[in-house]
Amino acid sequence: MKVLITGGLGFLGINFAKLFASKGCDVIGCGRGWLTEKSQVEIGYSHWNEGDISLPLLMDLPFSPDVIIHCAGGGSVNRSLMNPEDDYRDTVKGTEAVLEYLCTLPLTTTLIYPSSAAVYGAYSNQRIPIVAPTTPVSPYGENKLVAENLCQKYHQSFGINAFIVRLFSVYGNGLRKQLLWDACEKLTQNKDEVFWGDGQETRDFIHVDDVFELIYLISKNNNKNMPKKMNCGGGDARKITEVLNLISNELGIASKVDFNGACRPGDPRYYWSDNFESLAYGWKPKKILESGIKEYVEWYKRLNKC
């Protein structure tokens, strides 16, 4: 299977490249950032095209892929709030380019778009089904939703084979942003630290390896009778206080954790995934959060020589 990964040097892109390559796939990547030939091989890329995602960049690839994993786009709520125009360009314009490229390929080509639970916006403390209303509260979520709608529009108008996977809180070794990274950075400073909110907020954590397994199953079993849109989460709502305690214990640090009681802009209070459609692929998350955090903290310690 020939696989193209856009945004190939991001957290998802690198992990997906390594895992697809481990399955014997021919993987090429494109996106921002330069790679030596040695680095390409280490990640799993047989070829790398550097640049912003555009139709000319994609048309210059060395082969026509069987599957496109479109990971390129905005990757942060905070960044979208600070630079909404950049987030729109990266997410929406990049998706338009991928869809135009798909129009030049056989209709058997599969597009898998890892979107985000941010499209839902604020929701009550219960599982979020795929049919829940989409009312995003950040430019990041808004642009992800626009990109999703573009994928569906091209599917309806041109027959493009597009799948949308709404990711919840993805984590794993190599992630250098968001809660787990921030907590490790703060707690290793050995002083009292303040986090946003009150600690009772929930997130549904899913390990990147489990995300890949769903992506891989879709790429291998993408007939028209299978769900085209689905959530991907661990299926378990975990309180932020609980997660911080797990990290603190693994670090062996007894820092006092305080909360400022304020809601960070763009961050809904609750996230909890209903994975019903994903389960139709014979998928279920395997990595429990406790073991995943243990591995993550060990990676962090090695990285920072703690």
pLDDT of residue 86: 95
- Average pLDDT of span 219-235: 89
What percentage of residues in the chain have a pLDDT greater than 90?
Answer: 88
Is 70 exceeded by the pLDDT of residue 162?
Answer: yes
Task: Count other C-beta atoms under 10 Å from residue 296's C-beta.
Answer: 23
Residues 6+ apart with CB under 8 A from 157: none
pLDDT at 240 over 70: yes
pLDDT tens figures, 129-156: 999 999 999 999 999 999 999 999 999 9
Interacting residues of 284 by C-beta distance below 8 A, sequence separation 6+: 275
pLDDT band at 306, cuts 50/70/90? low
Q: Give the pLDDT mean for 207-236.
A: 93
Strand (E) or helix (H) holding 203? strand 202-203
99-119 burial, b for 16+ CB within 10 Å, e for fewer? bebbeebeeebbbbbbbbbbb
Per-residue pLDDT band for 39 (boundaries 50, 70, 90) equals very high
Q: How far apart are CA 34 and CA 57, in angstroms?
A: 14
Q: Which of 209, 216, 185 is nearest to 25 (CA)?
A: 216
**Residue 178 CA to its chain's centroid (Å):** 12
Helix (H, G, I), strand (E, B) or coil at 101: helix
**Residue 214: pLDDT band by 50, 70, 90 thresholds?**
very high
d(CA 30, CA 8): 6
| pLDDT higher than 90, residue 193 | no
* Residue extents of the structural domains in the chain: 2-172+207-235+268-286
* Angstrom distance (rounded) from CA 215 to CA 128: 20
The two tokens of residue 260 are 């400022």
What is the average pLDDT across 22-42? 96
Fold for domain 2-172+207-235+268-286? Rossmann fold (3.40.50)
Task: Name the region of 84 (left: φ>0; alpha: ψ -120 to 50; beta: rest).
Answer: alpha
Alpha helix positions (H), 91-192: 94-102, 139-158, 178-187
Q: Is 76 helix (H, G, I), strand (E, B) or coil?
A: coil
Band (pLDDT 50/70/90 cuts) for residue 192 is low
Tally of CA atoms within 13 A in the half-sphere of 248 that contains its CB: 17
Tokens representing 183 are 């907590």
The residue type at 199? G
Q: Which are the contacts of 146, defined by CB distance < 8 A and separation ≥ 6? A: 91, 92
Model confidence pLDDT, tens digit, residues 245-288: 999 999 998 777 889 988 888 899 999 999 999 999 999 999 99
